[in-house]
Structure 1
Amino acid sequence: MSNPMSGGGMAGWSMLRSMRSQDEVSTHRLKRGTARRIVAFAQPYRRDIVVFLITVVIAAIIGVATPVLAGDVINTITRGGPDAGDAVVRLALFIAALAVADALFSLAQRWYSARIGEGIILDLRTRVYDHVQRMPLQFFTRTQTGALVSRLNNDVMGAQRAFTSTLSGVVSNVIQLVLTAGVMFTLSWQITTLSLVLLPIFIIPARRVGKRLAEITRESYNLDAKMNATMTERFGVAGALLVKLFGSPEEEARRFAGRAERVRDIGIQSAMYSRTFFVAMLLVASLAQALTYGLGGWLAVTGAVSAGTVVTLALLLTRLYGPLTALSNVRVDVMSALVSFDRVFEVLDLRPGIEEKPDAVPVPRGAGRVEFRDVRFRYPAAAEVSLASLEEVATLDRTVNEPVLKGVSFTVEPGQMVALVGPSGAGKSTLSMLISRIYDVTDGEVRVGGMDVRDATLASLRDEIGVVTQDSHLFHETIRENLRYAKPEATDDEIWAALAGAQVADLVRALPDGLDTMVGERGYRFSGGEKQRIAIARLLLKAPSIVILDEATAHLDSESEAAVQRALSVALTGRTALVIAHRLSTVREADQILVLDDGRIVERGRHDELVAVGGLYAELYRTQFAVADSPTPYADEVESEPVVTTVPMGTYVAQEALPPAAAN
């Protein structure tokens, strides 16, 4: 005799999972057209889906046919006769054939399910990843990385279930329920009705268990998220250093252990609730089966039904409770899948900050001329670049930011070096980001090689422009792979030539693994000066015609700065250079100095000319540059930290920060 739970165990688990997520999906409002977009998204898999559903239907029919044949075997045995033996054998062979067919269809069903599901995961993940890569930089400064990764994992998996477990479950359960109920009522409506009486006794308490499970599961997810955030921060190099310098390892361990203990307690409660749920389902199904045997046996003794009918009804009963319990929560299952799709579409519907025109053309190779024509720019509001759900806030700020650049115009001729100086927040880094189209101008034009950068292909623009920032990032890969990020087809000879030009080849050769040395997270295995020179080698390998240096020597000690300056002298040879600097030595060498204040160019000229004028540049020279370059016993401390000096015109700092979500 089969287990009363054999047909309903998986359905029971599906029901439990549905009840856990019921609160979440009930509070999510779907956008109009979500279902239509899902159908369009599934178009490439329509043939696979049709074949998949056919296998599901056939499997459901076999599942109902087998108990009926088992009843026929009992009836044939009890009826007896000279041909009874042969009939039983034929029925047994037929049941065996159905079992083989069911196994084959089950394999086919799983193959098509995997093909559809994995294909959808591939399509969704690649589309979301590609789309996110095109989002403006401000999107990443506002968004929680974990929430974004969740869209690529959890929500994509949830969307995939719409075409596999949810779709197949609904179709299979509906067919199985209709066929099973139809056959059972045909055989004996009295037994069937009595069997269904106990169903509410199971479903009502199960819903309460599901609600409690939802509460503790949500708490567990929140605690897991906090522990993950703690580990991510503390296990990073910078976080680990901060804990060692200022924190208490014992206190960190105590706080972490407290959360982990609560997760353990929740795990025990969840396990008991889940087990109670399944025991309750098993008990109700067993009681229903006992009623079937009792009433069916009495009817069989009285001659109202045959013994085989009682066996058939008992077996069919195990295939009735599963679909009923699963379909009682089908709305939650469907809504969960729709919500997952909706959350993925939510990211895909965000407009990329930078889009390439269909008729874009490449920038002329070696075009080193840069021109700004009455450029105005403001950073987009939060509502333009982000999602409340990715920032874990109720609503996004819709305040329109003040302009950062206000009518900036200048020209850099090929081969020239132009230095940008000014107080923090003046717009220097912002201005440099407009050249490489990290952002697009709000008004005006930025031209490279005589072309508006918005008319150029992004690939050609990247090829022409190289950037070195004050904190150059290296991926946790080998030195070779980090350099080849700029030029994937680069040979080892080209890589060594770039390292030599960056004054770091001897260092790399001295490493045991040479080019195969792992640089560590963010390149922390190297000093600041070494990391900067590797970044300059990456720039040399790229060989751009325009170089942008954004505080490339900030935060370096004197020795490291000297090495980086030697590397930069090689990098800038024969190239157009736009340099954001607070070192006087760099500024003095510039062909032109642009002094920015409050988003405007207030002074321009060479060093001696601007000092003689006695304006803002002269004031910066007396405060920042002169102090930064003066030889003092504390030169290392002065040069390794931004110099902050208050002067009558305001407060000026030595370095330009990366523009925040709402830049000044």
Structure 2
Amino acid sequence: MKPTLIRILGYFKPYWKLLVISAICSTIVGAMDGAFAYLVKPMLERIFAEKDSGIFILVPLGIITLFAVRGITRFTYDTSIKLAGQKAIQDIRNDMFASNVRLDMAFYNRNSTGELMSRMTNDISAMQEGIANIVTGLFRDVVSACSLLGTLFYLNWKLALVSFVALPLTAYPAQLIGKKIKNASGRSLNLMGGITAILQETFSGIRVIKAFGLETLIINRFKNANLNYLQQMRKFIKYESLATPVSEAILSFGIAGVVYFGGSQVMAGRMTAPGFFAFIVALAMISKPVNKLQGSYNVLQRSAGAAERVFQTLDQSRAITDKPNAVDMNRASGLVEFKNVSFSYGEEPILQNVSIKATSNQMIALVGPSGGGKTTLVSLLPRFYDVTDGAIFIDGHDIRDITLNSLVSQVALVDQETTLFHDSIANNIRYGKPDATIEEVTEAATAAYAHDFISQLPAGYDTSIGDRGIRLSGGQRQRICIARALLRNAPILILDEATSALDTESEQMVQRALDNLMVNRTTFVIAHRLSTVLHADKIIVLEKGRVVESGTHNDLLANNSLYSRLHSLQFKERDTDEMVYTQ
């Protein structure tokens, strides 16, 4: 836990001025507790022994002044330390989000979206609670406890020793319970991650759930996950609730000793009654900051479990990085070569010795049975993953020798899954070029055959399209994605099943937009519909991760091999569908 705590405190370093202010104010607040306990004895002596009536005028004024100064300093302390804590949490959240976004695609293959969302929300919230509790009470309670402890030893060091003889005995159970709190907190956060994953999957797939009548199944699944979380939280609640009673039970022996030995000294005349009462007041006052420190330790243990999960994500190393001598690449001419490329996600190979060469402005079609490795192959080009063996070249440069920023600027992607954001249409198109003017956005939308339907919307280009573009049709969403790719103006284009999910009318409109997009670009097209790639400059047939055929449409038909069989099967199905429709 120590390295984790040190890392958390490291985030406070930029805000040291706020910490200094809070430390000064907390010292004043804590010192006042000791001063109040210290003044009890002389005040009682002047009242009861000396019969000083003037004290009744001074004491109320002193109390008002004391609490006024205490209130001002406590307000300053709380606001400065809480602000520092919020800024530290903001930095942690920013670092975690940036770290997640920059991690490789392989990381997202290993972790569910719900789990990542849980770490960004639930785990950081648990950290925030711990930091808020710790930093707001640490200085004040430590200073207050030390101030009162000094007062106790000043009043009667023997009684002080008696009162604290039981204090070391609380350390072991506190540590033991704290460890159990930390473990229970970590497990509960893991289970909350599972709940978040179910929520994410449910709300994103609600159409399928409704269509198949899966509401009861999903509800029961959620109830079971929620029950598991409750059972784990029971353990957490039990351990957290147990900490204070155990500590107080042990400390009661020290308090009993003080009452016995202190009372004996008063009766023996070795201690005055006001002195003993002042000691009891100080002892009672010190229990509050000590209990708060005990509570802060438990909260620290709880937040430590969350912090470890957060830092575990922050410490994820990115496998795909720039080489030390990587170079920035200017706009490529579009010459692309896959040379003996092999790739595997684990032990099972996905691609084996694939070699493809595309000259500038060529259209390369990748076809073949599902699972052949087509999408994986084009994912290697922008280095979503790195090749296991072989190399990929753009204009003769190994892409691993090019900086990632300049590499991704060479590639534009339009895939089957139209990824749009809950933002305006203009801004969704601008993701292709964030600094684009509205004139450039409009020009790209016009070339993508999207300008007409955009202009008919209530707010035009400023229309918010809703979550994942839910307010638009499939063809409209795809044309916005094409406009985004047009605006990017990259020399290399990847089309991954860009029209497979569209109806015939939408497909024709989108295909015209794609024709505009492919002009003067080297294009890799993945298609199951062979009718869309008949005019490709080269068709690559992939099967089980290998190139089994290569050539033009007419060449491959003449081979009477896999491509020919796929072509015959698809066109036979089309002819059958047309016959059924005409009947």
If the TM-score is normalised by the length of the shorter chain, which range does it land in? 0.7 to 0.9
The question of 1:320 aligning with 2:286 is answered yes
- 1:69 aligns with 39
* 1:354 paired residue among 320, 332, 338: 320
How far is the alpha carbon of 1:419 from its aligned partner?
0.7
In structure 2, how many angstroms separate the alpha carbons of the residues matched to 1:128 and 1:72? 56
The question of 1:147 aligning with 2:115 is answered yes
Distance verdict in 2 for CA 1:230–1:361, change over 3 Å: closer
- 1:434 aligns with 380
In structure 1, how many angstroms separate the alpha carbons of the residues matched to 2:221 and 2:499? 39
2:39 is matched by which residue type in structure 1? L
- 2:563 aligns with 617
The question of 1:462 aligning with 2:408 is answered yes
- 2:310 aligns with 344
- 2:29 aligns with 59
- 1:375 aligns with 341
Deviations 1:332-358 (A, max 9, x none): 555545544433332222221321335
How far is the alpha carbon of 1:536 from its aligned partner?
1.1
CA contact (8 A) 1:583 1:625 kept: no
- 1:407 aligns with 353
2:565 is matched by which residue type in structure 1? E
- 1:585 aligns with 531
* 1:452 paired residue among 398, 411, 417: 398
Of stretches 523-532 and 331-340 in structure 1, the one that deviates more from structure 2 is 331-340
- 2:428 aligns with 482
Distance verdict in 2 for CA 1:548–1:227, change over 3 Å: closer
In structure 2, how many angstroms separate the alpha carbons of the residues matched to 1:439 and 1:274? 45
In structure 1, how many angstroms separate the alpha carbons of the residues matched to 2:174 and 2:407? 61
The question of 1:135 aligning with 2:106 is answered no
The 5 A counterparts of 1:172-191 are 172-188=140-156
The 5 A counterparts of 1:64-103 are 64-80=34-50, 84-86=52-54, 89-90=57-58, 93-103=61-71
Deviations 1:567-601 (A, max 9, x none): 11111122211111122232211011112223222
In structure 2, how many angstroms separate the alpha carbons of the residues matched to 1:211 and 1:591? 66
Of stretches 191-200 and 494-503 in structure 1, the one that deviates more from structure 2 is 191-200
In structure 1, how many angstroms separate the alpha carbons of the residues matched to 2:256 and 2:278? 14
1:73 is matched by which residue type in structure 2? M
The 5 A counterparts of 1:116-265 are 116-159=84-127, 165-166=133-134, 169=137, 172-188=140-156, 228-236=196-204, 239-247=205-213
In structure 1, how many angstroms separate the alpha carbons of the residues matched to 2:221 and 2:308? 36
SS at match of 1:553: coil
SS at match of 1:535: helix
Distance verdict in 2 for CA 1:168–1:289, change over 3 Å: same
Deviations 1:437-457 (A, max 9, x none): 211222322222333222323
CA contact (8 A) 2:113 2:197 kept: no
- 1:520 aligns with 466
Distance verdict in 2 for CA 1:101–1:286, change over 3 Å: farther
Distance verdict in 2 for CA 1:337–1:246, change over 3 Å: closer
Deviations 1:158-179 (A, max 9, x none): 5556765436645544444444
SS at match of 1:109: helix
- 1:13 aligns with none
How far is the alpha carbon of 1:98 from its aligned partner?
3.7
In structure 2, how many angstroms separate the alpha carbons of the residues matched to 1:33 and 1:214? 15
Of stretches 559-568 and 482-491 in structure 1, the one that deviates more from structure 2 is 482-491
CA contact (8 A) 1:465 1:548 kept: yes
How far is the alpha carbon of 1:466 from its aligned partner?
0.9
The 5 A counterparts of 1:292-307 are 305-307=271-273
How far is the alpha carbon of 1:329 from its aligned partner?
6.8
CA contact (8 A) 1:466 1:547 kept: yes
SS at match of 2:531: helix
| TM-score calculated relative to the size of structure 2 | 0.82
How far is the alpha carbon of 1:620 from its aligned partner?
2.0
How far is the alpha carbon of 1:618 from its aligned partner?
1.6
In structure 1, how many angstroms separate the alpha carbons of the residues matched to 2:48 and 2:460? 84
* 1:505 paired residue among 426, 446, 451: 451
SS at match of 1:315: helix
CA contact (8 A) 2:185 2:305 kept: no
| TM-score calculated relative to the size of structure 1 | 0.73
* 2:77 paired residue among 87, 109, 116: 109
- 1:421 aligns with 367
- 1:550 aligns with 496
Distance verdict in 2 for CA 1:295–1:53, change over 3 Å: same
2:93 is matched by which residue type in structure 1? R
CA contact (8 A) 2:119 2:193 kept: no
How far is the alpha carbon of 1:118 from its aligned partner?
2.2
Distance verdict in 2 for CA 1:403–1:248, change over 3 Å: closer
Which runs of no fewer than 5 residues in structure 1 stay unpaired?
1-30, 380-399, 637-664
In structure 2, how many angstroms separate the alpha carbons of the residues matched to 1:372 and 1:263? 49
The question of 1:600 aligning with 2:546 is answered yes
How far is the alpha carbon of 1:59 from its aligned partner?
2.5
2:287 is matched by which residue type in structure 1? Y
Deviations 1:122-145 (A, max 9, x none): 222222211111222232132132
Which runs of no fewer than 5 residues in structure 2 stay unpaired?
none
* 1:571 paired residue among 517, 530, 545: 517
Distance verdict in 2 for CA 1:32–1:166, change over 3 Å: closer
Distance verdict in 2 for CA 1:558–1:140, change over 3 Å: same
Distance verdict in 2 for CA 1:352–1:207, change over 3 Å: closer
- 1:627 aligns with 573
In structure 1, how many angstroms separate the alpha carbons of the residues matched to 2:225 and 2:339? 56
1:109 is matched by which residue type in structure 2? Y
Deviations 1:24-61 (A, max 9, x none): xxxxxxx9965665565554345544554444333222
CA contact (8 A) 1:363 1:449 kept: no
Of stretches 186-195 and 544-553 in structure 1, the one that deviates more from structure 2 is 186-195
Count of residues in Structure 1 that have an aligned counterpart in Structure 2: 582
Distance verdict in 2 for CA 1:349–1:629, change over 3 Å: farther
How far is the alpha carbon of 1:608 from its aligned partner?
0.5
In structure 2, how many angstroms separate the alpha carbons of the residues matched to 1:88 and 1:102? 21
In structure 2, how many angstroms separate the alpha carbons of the residues matched to 1:338 and 1:232? 26
Of stretches 240-249 and 127-136 in structure 1, the one that deviates more from structure 2 is 240-249
Distance verdict in 2 for CA 1:342–1:264, change over 3 Å: closer
How far is the alpha carbon of 1:531 from its aligned partner?
1.7
How far is the alpha carbon of 1:106 from its aligned partner?
1.8
2:363 is matched by which residue type in structure 1? M
SS at match of 2:352: strand
The question of 1:309 aligning with 2:275 is answered yes
SS at match of 1:447: strand
1:369 is matched by which residue type in structure 2? L
In structure 1, how many angstroms separate the alpha carbons of the residues matched to 2:335 and 2:46? 95
In structure 1, how many angstroms separate the alpha carbons of the residues matched to 2:319 and 2:175? 46
Distance verdict in 2 for CA 1:41–1:528, change over 3 Å: same
Deviations 1:507-556 (A, max 9, x none): 22222232233323222332322221221122122222211101111132
Distance verdict in 2 for CA 1:460–1:536, change over 3 Å: same
In structure 2, how many angstroms separate the alpha carbons of the residues matched to 1:155 and 1:220? 10
In structure 1, how many angstroms separate the alpha carbons of the residues matched to 2:576 and 2:436? 42
